[in-house]
Chains A and B, each alone.
Chain A
Amino acid sequence: MSQSLKPLNQKAWLLVLPVIVCVAFSAVLPLMTVVNYSVQDIISPERRVFVGTEWFTAVLRDEELHGALLRQLGFSLAVLAVEIPLGIALALAMPTRGWQASAVLVVVALSLLIPWNVVGTIWQIYGRADIGLLGAALQRLGFDYSYTGNAHHAWLTVLAMDVWHWTPLVALLCYAGLRAIPDAYYQAARIDGASRWAVFRYIELPKLRGVLMIAVLLRFMDSFMIYTEPFVLTGGGPGNATTFLSQYLTQKAVGQFDLGPAAAFSLIYFLIILLLCFVLYTWMQRVGTVDKGAIE
């Protein structure tokens, strides 16, 4: 999207129109409804009162929300810190040809295609001390492991589950990126006697910039709206150790049916994500251009 060589053509709008219509129907309409709710007190379908920014102030002062937001940020950063390096390492270690390549690819990608509540179920079974392999093994090793009783264990289990679930996405993207590097680059490096690390740092990493950006954005956004897996595994507990933002919002919206506060919260949530992603997007683009300039 960066080249200025592209011809200016307003008719291109016609090609984009179907997408706009689709997304407008399924995103803009609902979002307007949320805005509508957020400024009204809905007592019954016929009786509603305009309350202005009252819900927003209430939600912003909500201590529980602050807690959930902090937990969410900590979790998302931990997810990125583990999954991105692990995904790159995995992509580098995957075989590139023969039947092994296909087999490893399929096994690695498998966890991505499992419905999210089944992921929760799998780890629920896996981690239980009485019937689960992981839980029983940890007990045997002398850890008093319990993801339902101990807040730290619960948090770590949710993190392990997310790593198990999503590292393959990072790995697949990087793997595809690596395959697109022409052999000539490696041959040139070999002639220069470059070390393995130098090959990674100056050939592979720069070429992976595009896919890594997609991976970081996707992982950040998705971990920021994680709901189903912790819901099934821990139900947000013990206490509220694994209650993240979506969980908290759903409790408010569907559990307590507080339409006004829930809608105000939805909008704030949406804006936070928008802001964070915009920052991430611009930052990665800048880093990218600096990197490119240094190499060329």
Chain B
Amino acid sequence: MRPAVAGPGVAAAVVAPARRAARAGAGVHLRVLFLLAYLAFAVLPIYWMVNMSFKTNNEILSSFSFLPRQFTWDNYRTIFTDASWYSGYVNSLIYVAINTAVSIGVALPAAYAFSRYRFLGDKHVFFWLLTNRMTPPAVFLLPFFQLYTTLGLMDTHLAVALAHLVFNVPLAVWILEGFMSGVPREIDETAYIDGHSFPRFFLTIFLPLVKSGVGVAAFFCFMFSWVELLLARTLTSVNAKPIVATMTRTVSASGMDWAVLAAAGTLTIVPGAIVIWFVRHYIAKGFAMGRL
């Protein structure tokens, strides 16, 4: 808890305890008010979309109401019964899972190396990795298209998963390195003295110590892969078409089917909401240690 809430300081308590307490009270009210205002700002657009997803197109265009008057599940039924809709979700989940697993897998040893050793060109490699995080996906659009066509990877989940490695691997290395630097080096040394081999030490002793870091890194990999549209849309056409692309194409094809669009949008939020729930403690836990 903040000191402002916990009460007046010792010296001030003698001088003007009442005024101090009143000011602290006002501070709490202001804080809650600000928080509520922000939450309203955050939730209202989403609420409006969810609200719309239970209406018919007719009602959306003809009237204006905070709750659907003719409540309908039809929009969701359309999505769950039409393969062109639900396969989009499956495709997205597949490439996001591959991407997250590969990103974390290759980033773990690298982050360990960066946090524990100096080696030739370490700083340069680290900055080079970051530059890839900074590169706009639009820059890679043309070459990816050509590269994956040549390799016969077009329209596969692997293509999107590999393409997303560009920005997820550097991010995972960056986050994990921060967490690993927070673990005292004496632990490594003790383990070596005890005669543990490196792989065994890494998997059974070190990894559990940075598991919150792995959680946070996995969360960000999931997030950035799940929401990316430009590359995912360009590298797929039918078999691996992600839900985000399905949405944009349906919009252009059938005019503006606001209701189904709103339902599809609502459903894209669900996996994210579930993931946040699982990693919420991990997010809050770490991150701080002065990294640089």
Choose, from B70-78, B203-211, B224-232, the stretch at the interface: B224-232
User: How many angstroms between the C-alpha atoms of A96 and B1 in the bound complex?
Assistant: 7
Contact with B along A242-254 (1 / 0, CB 8 A): 0001100110011
| Contact between A22 and B165, CB atoms less than 8 A apart | yes
A59 adjacent to chain B (CB < 8 Å): no
A25 to B165, CA, bound (A): 10
Inside 8 A of A177's CB, which chain B residues have their CB?
A: 287-288
A residues 103-162 with Cβ under 8 Å of B?
A: 104-118, 121-123, 125-126, 130-134, 136
Complex Cα–Cα for A227 and B230 (A): 8
Determine whether the beta carbon of B120 is less than 8 Å from that of A34.
Answer: no
Q: What string of 1s and 0s marks CB contacts (under 8 Å) between B224-251 and chain A?
A: 0011111000100000000110011001
Contact status of A269 and B226, CB under 8 A, knowing A10-B119, A13-B120, A196-B4: no
Contact of B113 among A15, A101, A105, A123 (CB under 8 A): A15
- If over half of B's interface residues share one DSSP class (helix, strand or loop), that class is named, otherwise mixed; here it is helix
Q: How far is the CB of B249 from chain A (nearest CB, A)?
A: 11
Size class of the A contact interface (CB-based, 8 Å): 35 or more
Proximity string of chain B (46-89) to chain A, C-beta cutoff 8 Å, 1 when within and 0 when not:
10110010000000110010000000000000000000000000
Given known A106-B280, A118-B265, A175-B284, contact A19–B138 (CB-CB < 8 A) = no
Q: Cβ of B165 and Cβ of A262 under 8 Å apart? A: no
Q: Whole-angstrom distance from the CB of B233 to the nearest CB of chain A?
A: 9
Interface size class of B (residues with CB under 8 A): 35 or more
B51 to chain A, nearest CB (A): 9
Q: Mark A235-269, 1 if CB is under 8 A from B, else 0.
A: 00000000001100110011000010011001101
Known interface pairs A105-B280, A250-B138, A253-B138; A19-B290 also in contact (CB < 8 Å): no
Listed from nearest, the 5 A-B pairs whose CB atoms lie closest are A113-B272, A180-B288, A193-B9, A30-B143, A225-B136
Residues of B within 8 A of A (CB): 1-4, 6-12, 27, 31-32, 34-35, 38-39, 41-46, 48-49, 52, 60-61, 64, 102, 105-107, 109-110, 112-114, 116-120, 122-123, 125-127, 129-144, 146-147, 162-163, 165-166, 169-170, 173-174, 177-178, 181, 223, 226-230, 234, 243-244, 247-248, 251, 258, 261-262, 265, 268-269, 271-273, 275-277, 280, 283-292
Instruction: Provide 28 A-B residue pairs closer than 8 Å at the C-beta atoms, listed in order of the A residue.
Output: A1-B292, A7-B116, A12-B113, A12-B122, A16-B113, A23-B165, A26-B162, A26-B163, A26-B165, A90-B34, A107-B43, A113-B227, A114-B265, A116-B229, A126-B45, A133-B45, A134-B44, A164-B45, A168-B42, A175-B284, A181-B288, A186-B3, A190-B7, A193-B12, A194-B9, A210-B292, A221-B133, A270-B136
